[in-house]
Homo-oligomer: A and B are copies of this chain.
Amino acid sequence: MKNKVQACLTKDDIVDSLKNVGVNPTAQRIAICQFVLCQGDHPTADEIKTWVDQHFPKLSLATIYNTLKTLTDAGVLREYKFPHSGKSFYDNNLVDHYHLLDEESGKLIDIDSKSINVSKGFLKEFTVNKMDVIFYGKHKSQVDG
């Protein structure tokens, strides 16, 4: 069972996506999107920088942060922060979901929002606009589970 199935987008797909949300598709932004929208799995800014440095002549950290903000504001990405790390994580999964930090691999795994439910009593007492959940644990493998 795959955590996420993310078909690799072509450069043209990315250009279209950016245009669709009113973001000027510069070479730097396309490069960043190639990683974040496709290959990256909840990358941090520095992980993006590392990848981009190997695939793009020169691209500053400031541009990465600017671009991530632009893409987040445009609704192409979501930014997450978790208690276990000071860094921001960027997620191309735009559907509401939670996360599990796999304590063995250190990787974040997307968790379906149906996996938890909030008690009726609580919802009677509070108006909830948003909620964030992070689990710490690991996936039970078929072998040792």
Contacts and interface: CB of A to CB of B under 8 A. Distances in A.
Interface in A81-95: 81-83, 86
Contacts of A86: 86
A139 interface: yes
Interface string A90-131: 000000000010010000000110111111011011111111
A65 interface: no
A25 B131 CA distance: 39
Given A116-B117, A119-B115, A137 B133 contact: no
Interface of A: 80-83, 86, 100, 103, 111-112, 114-119, 121-122, 124-140
20 contacts: A80-B83, A81-B83, A82-B132, A100-B126, A111-B122, A115-B119, A115-B121, A116-B117, A116-B118, A116-B122, A117-B117, A117-B119, A125-B139, A126-B138, A127-B137, A127-B138, A129-B137, A130-B136, A130-B137, A131-B134
